[in-house]
């Protein structure tokens, strides 16, 4: 099966784009779509530009977990709100996005993992989240039929899941009905800047005048910012995932141990992925950002595999231009949909490990396999901030592998940052300046 959103997917929103707006949102992933939606709901004229297809990159390629469990304490209140917003939004679409409250479970192989879960638990309690620790016996009872036992587990019954490649285009449909002008196959080449402030964007089809711009460009955000002299220590890592053919139901939620993560899919199969394994293609940004990432590397020295160079056209490939003019074809147009090849060795291991964990499940056959480039920050929490050096620009990026679930919450926060409305959350943790103002690096929980 070919991955469902690709460069040949028919364009749903062809444009042309208007020449004026109140806000231009760059990037049609879950963050850009949700930001645009809530901006339009606050009465603004919003244009959303996507260089490829809505949800063509991370936002369709993820596991679909909508999880509060294990979140950074400063993300958690936004995530709790996102849970509520997902339910609200699911009732506004005319398609089934597969939203299910099946729970999320982290299976502990060691006492140390259990201790880490226990340390995190107070954050759940403060935010009214129903996370709890399970004993060895309770874990075996929750997920019957496993060939091995675990020391215990962290379990959150109210965590959910949805089908990403259906859900995010469906959210875009809601945004369009709310008045957002969505244009696919339309890259922003540059920010339009005059007298030190952003006055719009220059797309491959021309200028849009707008006093406010939101950058939600996922893995491409740092490339665009660097073009305008703003440093963002963001890197992308490849993560491989797969969907199996239909199999009996073993557990209605998402679960993960150190080796494998699985959750049932709406089509009767399971999504499988390797928990805690990523691959970094080393390029110029990796060298530049290395000092910022040292704390993360020391904390998890074996979680990342290093590969010598990114494929042609990737954001941090050696040959990708770092500077261009508004008349040049930009790197964004040259790669409409970032579509890394999955790691074949990992796919074999996933099939083997899932079949070994559930010996009675029957033959595990992969129906589809894909990979995505996860945009990650040195402290594993995003940047959600107004850019002081470029008034008029707001950035929401670097969701660090957990932006799907929190998307609607972050979208609402970003809309409030633009309109000046009450944000309702403390965003100090997500400020851009934390990488340059001498703040100590504080890693988010690697749970
Ligand atoms: C394999 C995998 C598993 C994951 N599992 C989960 C999970 O279970 N739960 C969870 O919460 N998160 C998960 N994530 C993370 C989640 O998918 C991302 O954090 C989230 O989708 C990020 O959304 P985004 O909108 O910031 O970026 P993206 O979805 O990457 O969207 C950015 C968009 O911006 C566009 N763009 C970039 N530059 C320009 C430009 N100049 N002009 C126009 N358009 C531009 C791109 O084409 C792209 O479509 C996973 C990610 C992967 C890859």
Could you give the count of Cα atoms lying within 13 Å of 273 in the half-sphere of its Cβ?
A: 25
Do the beta carbons of residue 153 and residue 136 sit within 8 Å? no
d(CA 233, CA 222): 7
Please tell me the predicted confidence (pLDDT) of residue 275: 81
Q: Which residues contact 311 (CB under 8 A, 6 or more apart)?
A: 281, 317, 340, 341
Tell the residue nearest (CA) to atom 45 of ligand 1.
27
CB-defined site of ligand 1, < 6 Å: 26-32, 49-52, 56-59, 61-65, 187-188, 216-220, 224, 239, 241, 332, 372, 374, 397, 399, 401-405
Whole-number Å distance, alpha carbon 218 to ligand 1 midpoint, is: 5
Percentage of residues in the chain having pLDDT higher than 70: 100
Do the beta carbons of residue 23 and residue 213 sit within 8 Å? yes
d(CA 127, CA 135): 23
N- to C-terminal Cα separation, the chain: 31
304 pLDDT higher than 90: no
Tell the residue nearest (CA) to atom 22 of ligand 1.
403
| Ramachandran assignment for 128, one of left (phi > 0), alpha (psi -120 to 50 degrees), beta (any other) | left
The model's pLDDT over 99-108, given as tens digits with 9 standing for 90+, comes to 999 999 999 9
Q: Which atom of ligand 1 sits closest to the CA of residue 49?
A: 43
Tell the residue nearest (CA) to atom 31 of ligand 1.
29
d(CA 102, CA 65): 10
2 pLDDT higher than 90: no
User: Which residue from 25, 38, 62, 106 has its CB within 8 A of the most atoms of ligand 1, so it is best to mutate?
Assistant: 62
Tell the residue nearest (CA) to atom 35 of ligand 1.
27
User: Which residue from 5, 11, 29 has its CB within 8 A of the most atoms of ligand 1, so it is best to mutate?
Assistant: 29
Whole-number Å distance, alpha carbon 301 to ligand 1 midpoint, is: 25
Angle at CA of residue 148, ends 145 and 150, nearest 5°: 110
Which alpha helices (DSSP H) does 178-283 contain, by range? 221-227
d(CA 151, CA 56): 39
The model's pLDDT over 56-100, given as tens digits with 9 standing for 90+, comes to 999 999 999 999 999 999 999 999 999 999 999 999 998 999 999
Tell the residue nearest (CA) to atom 34 of ligand 1.
27
Please tell me the predicted confidence (pLDDT) of residue 362: 95
Could you give the count of Cα atoms lying within 13 Å of 309 in the half-sphere of its Cβ?
A: 7
Angle at CA of residue 208, ends 206 and 214, nearest 5°: 120
User: Which residue from 403, 409, 413 has its CB within 8 A of the most atoms of ligand 1, so it is best to mutate?
Assistant: 403
Instruction: Please report the sign of the dihedral spanned by the C-alpha atoms of residue 245, residue 248, residue 253, residue 259.
Output: negative
Residue 367 CA to its chain's centroid (Å): 23
Please tell me the predicted confidence (pLDDT) of residue 96: 97
Q: Find, among 22, 8, 53, the residue nearest to 415 by Cα.
A: 22
Do the beta carbons of residue 269 and residue 275 sit within 8 Å? no
Whole-number Å distance, alpha carbon 12 to ligand 1 midpoint, is: 19
Burial class (CB in 10 A: 0-12, 13-18, 19+), 144: exposed
- Quick one: average pLDDT of 158-162? 98
Tell the residue nearest (CA) to atom 26 of ligand 1.
218
Kindly indicate the confidence band of residue 302, based on its pLDDT and cuts at 50, 70 and 90. confident
């Amino acid at each position: 099966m070919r991955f469902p959103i690709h460069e040949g997917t028919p364009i749903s929103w062809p444009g042309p784009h208007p020449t004026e707006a109140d806000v231009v949102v760059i990037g049609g992933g879950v963050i850009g779509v949700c930001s645009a939606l809530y901006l339009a709901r606050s009465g603004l004229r919003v244009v959303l530009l996507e260089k490829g297809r809505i949800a063509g990159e991370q936002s369709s390629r993820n596991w679909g977990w909508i999880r509060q469990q294990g979140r950074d304490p400063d993300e958690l209140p936004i995530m709790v709100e996102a849970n509520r917003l997902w339910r609200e939004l699911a009732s506004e679409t005319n398609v089934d996005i597969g939203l299910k409250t099946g729970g999320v479970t982290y299976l502990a192989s060691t006492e140390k993992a259990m201790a880490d879960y226990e340390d995190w638990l107070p954050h759940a309690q403060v935010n009214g989240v129903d996370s709890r620790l399970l004993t060895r016996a309770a874990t075996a009872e929750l997920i019957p039929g496993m060939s091995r036992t675990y020391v215990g587990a962290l379990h959150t019954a109210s965590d959910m899941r949805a089908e990403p490649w259906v859900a995010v285009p469906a959210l875009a449909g809601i945004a369009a009905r709310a008045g957002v002008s969505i244009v696919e196959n339309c890259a922003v080449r540059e920010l339009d800047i005059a007298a030190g402030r952003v006055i719009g964007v220059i797309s491959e089809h021309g200028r849009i005048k707008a006093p406010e711009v939101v950058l939600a460009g996922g893995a491409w955000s740092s490339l665009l910012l660097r073009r305008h002299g703003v440093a963002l220590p963001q890197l992308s890592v490849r993560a491989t995932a797969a969907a199996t053919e239909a199999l009996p139901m073993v557990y209605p939620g998402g679960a993960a141990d150190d080796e494998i993560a699985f959750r049932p899919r709406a089509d009767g199969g399971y999504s499988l992925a390797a928990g805690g394994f990523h691959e970094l293609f080393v390029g110029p940004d990796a060298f530049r950002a290395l000092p910022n990432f040292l704390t993360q590397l020391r904390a998890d020295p074996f979680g990342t595999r290093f590969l010598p160079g990114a494929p042609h056209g990737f954001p941090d490939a050696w040959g990708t231009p770092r500077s261009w003019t508004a008349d040049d074809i930009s790197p964004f147009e040259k790669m409409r949909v970032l579509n890394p090849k999955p790691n074949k060795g990992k796919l074999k291991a996933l099939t083997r490990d899932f079949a070994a964990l559930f010996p009675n499940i029957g033959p595990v056959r992969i129906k589809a396999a894909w990979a995505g480039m996860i945009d990650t920050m040195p402290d594993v929490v995003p940047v959600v901030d107004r850019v002081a050096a470029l008034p008029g620009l707001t950035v929401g990026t670097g969701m660090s592998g957990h932006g799907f679930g929190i998307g609607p919450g972050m979208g609402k926060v970003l809309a409030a940052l633009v309109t000046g409305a009450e944000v309702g959350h403390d965003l100090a943790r997500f400020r851009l300046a934390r990488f340059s103002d001498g703040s100590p690096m504080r890693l988010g929980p690697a749970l």
